[in-house]
Structure 1
């Protein structure tokens, strides 16, 4: 049975009886709902059906009859079904079938309106319209007391105003009158100017294939960002591939399910081996009245000339083979290569298990009872995706975080510049009603070919991409964290000092007259200090990252002018590999970034098959979860040389002062440093590195209270005693 998501719709035309329920000649026109005529019973059947002259008609059903009955042209009686009048339009939720994002924005505006009403109630308690607070507020705000983010851009303010109009219309049942709308439009313009909100939209910085290959290579190589399981790295790389190739929205890609995939082997029109084709039909896209026309994107496998780190076939097949999703006996990519298309057919479908139709391609991974689990029936959360993308953006050194809509800027611009792609096809791919939407929101506004156009020269697209891409502002030296000096500046901020003073005053008052109310106030003041410090650090970090480009440029220019940095020294690129990279991740990177040895179809197939098998194996690799704290900065060769010169210039210690120190060191016995353990004393698992053992022990055995390797049988009732035993006896610094 074929997948229902890919099955064609049932034909609207009826066959056999020749009967049609349409009473008009046009089959595509919609019929308006009209009120029944009072004299409907008196209209003769002849006037309704003039073509039926001379035919036998049944007697008219009286008005008091229980049901209407008519006779078809074939002489068969047809009984109309009963009318279900239990549902009313007024009972349907106005937010029915609206997108989740639309509901969230509308709820945010409603919450702010409730806050405003409550403040008005506090200011005017005797006003007659606020005599019934429950009716005025309609519902209490669950987030009362939480600080609002405020507005920085006029676009955000106008977006909230749009959803407030929707709420106004739903609450009153009518649209805002013209005079009120005109006055409020003037008021909005005044508020934007009075509060100095930004009126320029965000720059449409596009991303291209070169940028995303470097992005995926960083995801696969870095150890500065870690996950629970290796499958999370694989899914993150695949999401970026499909986003670039389809120019789709984030929600449409991250909510892809197995029923949205269609895998098949296509007969090669060039008389070669069959071509592996993967088609996707994203379903969770913007729609109007719950109806939309879905696009299907087919990706035939390209064997030569494509980087493995941006080949969706290997990643999708790796994920499907890891989940054992194929209905047939397909357990490896070699099984797929051995198949062929039967004679008389153009393709050989590779159907997936129907029981897995609702499984998500980008699923959730979570810790359950200390073990990482793959929850295929739940989608990857937005928070997990956003945190991972922000971390990778900072590791690469991007000036601003990458966001999914930049795919629509880059791929949409390519479609717009390509001669064989029409405007109608571009609008169809991007789900735009007309070209005005693309020009207003998606077309990049940085023009790089005006000089060539005026001079009559051919525009250089390579330079144009280099000038507009996101990688133009990348610098791996850009700081990811604040240093101690910058943190000290945050501590001296007046806003934070005011919060600390308020906390100290409340604490002194509570110590003099302790009561539960003051205790809650002190706890709230502590939370305010923590949130204020975090907010100021975030703001300071953003300022430091933005100012880094100009400040570092001045340092580099002065160093180059002074001859401290030579071109050949700067050309030496530091290796991306790190000391603690596990062998499983090293093998994954080597196979996906391997250089082809032989330029033959069989050799390339073999290379792709090996890379796919490595992806399957790496899906179950436990990385140990996200890192805790800040990584130690690795010194570059330039820093080491500078440190050595600084040591050489220091004043040497005199011989008189050095002799007692040498004698003291010689009299001491050499200290024996115990070797760090590599085997878990609780479960016996072996690891190649000490850090891997620590990442295993913390979530798995931290709650244990009895040591299985010690024979004393002692039970540690307190976690502190258990940690002391683990550190002192088994040399695990947890």
Structure 2
């Protein structure tokens, strides 16, 4: 039974804004052959027995659950309209609602009701209303809330908006737009794209090769130019890449992974090697247009003698698992325990089950503020926008020319699957969740031909390694490429005429007024917009300009120019140094040596998950399930931490220290050489400044139901007022 025809033109494009309906499988519960054909092996007595069983069930259940009146009323009150509309994902509904709101605003301009305009479209094949609607939409520079709109830049975006509008029309009227009008609109969209100067250039589908992935991960782990609120977020940013790369999955399906979707097992090597830790992860969430698709499971065996632990998903996943004490076996709390495990002689696997209470907990969760800093949220997942921004920023720090996106890894997997002799076309389509090969050929097959075609034509050995490097995202890596504006460049935007006019307007409002706050917000946003545009312009022009400089200097016999090393980032802290060192450890010569190398990396990852990276909020968090916060140790006498500790306890009610007792407690959990200690134990200028800090950074982050505890006294407190009273009586902090 064929699926319903997709309302879009490209019905086979499962990576467009919407994907076609899946065909019903052979195991459909309403199988036609099974219903119509009787099996020749069925005996008459079997039919009689079946009839008796049906009669018995009718007698048993008929009318017992609900009386006949229940079903009569149900038929009379049944709402068919609930089943007329198609099902869409939450993201698709946002697009539909936004388009419908845009149509409503356009109808207000015309002075007509939106539904009336829809009905006029259904009764006519004229495109004049639609032409002017899309022309009006492209001319909108400010949204309904007064915010500046990004605007449409590409013709493909206009085409997607037309597809969305057709679904909005169908949702409002219950019918599809006339096919003749649809054909006319193709020319309308082409004319509008030309009129508004929309680009026809598609987004580059460059692949992130494995060598580029390693550089991306190395930068993510080691850089201090990009700060994460909590160390676990940095680890999750790497784990996301390591799970996305082999699956070639859509990024959102990786972000929706829960602990219940992960299965680990100690597996016997059929070729006689040491036992292997096998990861199986199931992608339960994929594109859900017109129903949930079948879940796919990907197995990843451990590469025991892995030349690079940076490309080892096992150490990062196990680091997260041990950080949350997620194994169901209570004694399995350290990676060193894994080497002591064996498999039963009559079996091939030893499952390593995870705790049942974590089954529905997301692995990729964001960090939220609490009283003393940051902690991992219980139920708020990392969004695609968040992970995409992280990956893009790391790509800039790495020195890539073009923006790095998660789909670079999906493109790479698709092309590698296509070239591999071990993966069939059907298996490639299954892994990518494509109905057929059309989406791969249209969207994933690299538009830069990744083959040495000239060598092939001449019968020579292709220089395939060189070609792959030239077609990957990493071909443009340069550590000299600017990643941020210099102070002079950033200050130059203050001379922009628009900024000057907005600053003059700001001075005309009374400080603190609503008009002042709104004008200041617009000024701040405009400055940020100009900074982004200037930075992108500098980056776009840098490649050619730097190449010309390098050529001229070399031809003049000078060589490459020596650039001043300007590093605005801070130094690595001890936990990060340990992490980088453990992941860069050389390959061991023995199995036992490799186990130690792997276990050290897992322990370093687990420890780093607990580190806070913010400027003023750096405190390790305890593992999930442990009692209370990390204990505060007694610092060496006369050390800076010891002096700070002594200064946050008052001897009289009138004494007012100038150090935050919560920040001092964080400092006591760090080593003396940690650069964060000095920031945490510094004295505020006045006790009033300390009070503002305490209210803004600590009290305001308390949520309903949070456990409250003084981290320096190890005293549990009942509520916020209890905390404020304790802060005043014991630590002299007024709040």
Give TM-score, length-normalised by structure 1.
0.72
Structure 2 CA distance for aligned equivalents of residues 326 and 219 of structure 1? 27
Structure 2 CA distance for aligned equivalents of residues 432 and 175 of structure 1? 26
Secondary structure at the counterpart of residue 531 of structure 1:
helix
Structure 1 CA distance for aligned equivalents of residues 31 and 617 of structure 2? 69
Structure 2 CA distance for aligned equivalents of residues 485 and 619 of structure 1? 37
2:679 corresponds, among 694, 698, 713, to 694
Choose 191-200 or 72-81, whichever is displaced more. 72-81
Structure 1 CA distance for aligned equivalents of residues 609 and 36 of structure 2? 50
Q: 1:217 to 1:24 in 2, by over 3 A?
A: closer
Q: 1:575 to 1:206 in 2, by over 3 A?
A: farther
Task: Check the 8 A contact 2:553/2:560 in 1, yes or no.
Answer: no
Structure 2 CA distance for aligned equivalents of residues 382 and 679 of structure 1? 45
Structure 2 CA distance for aligned equivalents of residues 92 and 22 of structure 1? 19
Q: Which residue of 2 aligns with 1:725?
A: none
- Residue 400, structure 1, aligned to residue 402, structure 2: yes
Q: CA deviation at 1:488?
A: 5.5
Structure 1 CA distance for aligned equivalents of residues 419 and 325 of structure 2? 41
Q: Which residue of 1 aligns with 2:531?
A: 537
- Residue 615, structure 1, aligned to residue 615, structure 2: no
Q: 1:281 to 1:117 in 2, by over 3 A?
A: same
Q: 1:91 to 1:99 in 2, by over 3 A?
A: closer
Q: 1:689 to 1:186 in 2, by over 3 A?
A: same
Q: 1:689 to 1:327 in 2, by over 3 A?
A: closer
Structure 2 CA distance for aligned equivalents of residues 537 and 399 of structure 1? 18
Query: What do the CA deviations read for 1:662-717 (whole angstroms, capped 9, x no partner)?
Result: xxxxxxxxxxxxx9989645434344345443267799985349xx9xxxxxxxxx
Q: CA deviation at 1:559?
A: 2.1
- Residue 234, structure 1, aligned to residue 215, structure 2: no
Task: Check the 8 A contact 2:574/2:674 in 1, yes or no.
Answer: no
Task: Check the 8 A contact 2:660/2:694 in 1, yes or no.
Answer: no
2:470 corresponds, among 460, 464, 467, to 467
Written as runs of structure 1 = structure 2, the 5 A alignment for 1:282-293 is 282-293=283-294
Q: CA RMSD in A?
A: 4.0
Written as runs of structure 1 = structure 2, the 5 A alignment for 1:675-686 is 680=644, 681-683=659-661, 684=664, 685-686=667-668
2:461 corresponds, among 458, 463, 482, to 458
Query: What do the CA deviations read for 1:90-116 (whole angstroms, capped 9, x no partner)?
Result: 1358364x2222122222222322232
Query: What do the CA deviations read for 1:135-184 (whole angstroms, capped 9, x no partner)?
Result: xxxxxx99533332211000111111111110100001111112322332
Secondary structure at the counterpart of residue 352 of structure 1:
coil
Q: 1:120 to 1:460 in 2, by over 3 A?
A: same
1:547 corresponds, among 538, 541, 549, to 541
Secondary structure at the counterpart of residue 174 of structure 1:
coil
Query: What do the CA deviations read for 1:253-308 (whole angstroms, capped 9, x no partner)?
Result: 11110110011111221234321111000111113422312211001111113411
Secondary structure at the counterpart of residue 304 of structure 1:
coil
Task: Check the 8 A contact 1:449/1:460 in 2, yes or no.
Answer: yes
Query: What do the CA deviations read for 1:543-562 (whole angstroms, capped 9, x no partner)?
Result: 11110111111122222223
Q: Which residue of 2 aligns with 1:632?
A: none
- Residue 327, structure 1, aligned to residue 299, structure 2: no
- Residue 590, structure 1, aligned to residue 584, structure 2: no
1:26 corresponds, among 17, 20, 34, to 34
Structure 1 CA distance for aligned equivalents of residues 149 and 566 of structure 2? 44
Give TM-score, length-normalised by structure 2.
0.72
Q: CA deviation at 1:525?
A: 4.2
Task: Check the 8 A contact 1:358/1:377 in 2, yes or no.
Answer: no
Structure 1 CA distance for aligned equivalents of residues 396 and 289 of structure 2? 38
Q: 1:676 to 1:554 in 2, by over 3 A?
A: farther
Q: Give the aligned length.
A: 585
Query: What do the CA deviations read for 1:593-632 (whole angstroms, capped 9, x no partner)?
Result: 0112x4111211121112111211221122235999xxxx
Q: Which residue of 1 aligns with 2:121?
A: none
Task: Check the 8 A contact 1:221/1:577 in 2, yes or no.
Answer: no
Structure 1 CA distance for aligned equivalents of residues 427 and 169 of structure 2? 38
Q: Which residue of 2 aligns with 1:113?
A: 103
Choose 379-388 or 433-442, whichever is displaced more. 379-388
Structure 1 CA distance for aligned equivalents of residues 201 and 474 of structure 2? 23
Structure 2 CA distance for aligned equivalents of residues 440 and 316 of structure 1? 34
Secondary structure at the counterpart of residue 72 of structure 1:
helix
Task: Check the 8 A contact 2:452/2:467 in 1, yes or no.
Answer: yes
Task: Check the 8 A contact 1:219/1:237 in 2, yes or no.
Answer: yes
Written as runs of structure 1 = structure 2, the 5 A alignment for 1:38-57 is none
Q: Which residue of 2 aligns with 1:169?
A: 170
Structure 2 CA distance for aligned equivalents of residues 419 and 689 of structure 1? 51
Q: 1:209 to 1:79 in 2, by over 3 A?
A: same
Q: 1:701 to 1:450 in 2, by over 3 A?
A: farther
5+ residue gaps, structure 1? 1-11, 14-20, 30-49, 58-68, 131-140, 629-674, 709-734
5+ residue gaps, structure 2? 1-25, 119-141, 619-638, 645-658, 696-709, 711-735
Q: 1:24 to 1:285 in 2, by over 3 A?
A: closer
Written as runs of structure 1 = structure 2, the 5 A alignment for 1:630-645 is none
Secondary structure at the counterpart of residue 283 of structure 2:
coil
Q: 1:115 to 1:356 in 2, by over 3 A?
A: same
Q: Which residue of 1 aligns with 2:180?
A: 179
Task: Check the 8 A contact 1:252/1:282 in 2, yes or no.
Answer: yes
Q: 1:676 to 1:480 in 2, by over 3 A?
A: farther
Q: Which residue of 2 aligns with 1:664?
A: none
Q: 1:409 to 1:54 in 2, by over 3 A?
A: closer
